[in-house]
Amino acid sequence: MIRFAPVLAVLAAPALAETPYPPALQGLLDYHWSACTGQGGTLTIGPDAVQEAHLSGGDTPDLLLDSARLSCSNAPHMFCADGIGCELTVFVDQNELSLVVLDWSLEPDDDRQVLVVTKAGQLMNLPEDATFRLVWDRAAESLVPAGPAP
C-alpha cells in the first residue's frame, strides 16, 4: 500500500493545475499544496483565497493570494503565525510581492484601489501594530506608500 502513496499524490496534484490562474500564482498554490501534502495533509483553498484587485489601474485585474484562507488538514496554522500574521501575495503583471500581514482590505481610489495592510509591530521592532496604505507604482514595479486616507 505504501508504494501507491506517491502515485496518489501525483494524481491529486492536477486538481490545482486545472484552475485558470496565471503561472506564478499557480506555482505558489502548487508549492503550498506540496508543503501540506508533505505533512500528510490535504490543502483546502477557501473560496476567497484568491481575489481580484485593481492596484495598478490597468484593465487587467491584479490578483491577491491570502494564505489565511488556505488550510492544511494536518497543520491548520501552517500558513500563519499567531500574533505575526499570514502571507498575502500580490500579483501585478509579471511581479509577485509577499507581505506578512495581520489584516488587509482594499479601498477605492479613482481608477485603482489602495491596499490597506496592518502589520505586526513585532515584525517591525515597534511596540504597536501599524497600518499602511499602499498603491502600485508602475515605474518602481512595487507597492509604495499612498497618501493619507481622504
Q: Tell me: the pLDDT tens digits for 55-103?
A: 998 788 999 999 999 999 998 889 999 999 999 999 999 999 999 999 9
How many helices (H) and strands (E) are present in the chain, helices listed first? 3, 11
> Locate cell 489565511: which residue?
68
What's the pLDDT at 149?
65
What's the pLDDT at 19?
58
Amino acid at 55: L
Q: What is the mean pLDDT of the chain?
A: 87
pTM: 0.84
**CA-CA-CA-CA dihedral for 84, 16, 13, 95, to nearest 10:** -60
Q: Are 100 and 120 in contact (CB under 8 A)?
A: yes
- Please state, in angstroms and rounded to a whole number, the distance separating the CA atoms of residues 73 and 141: 36
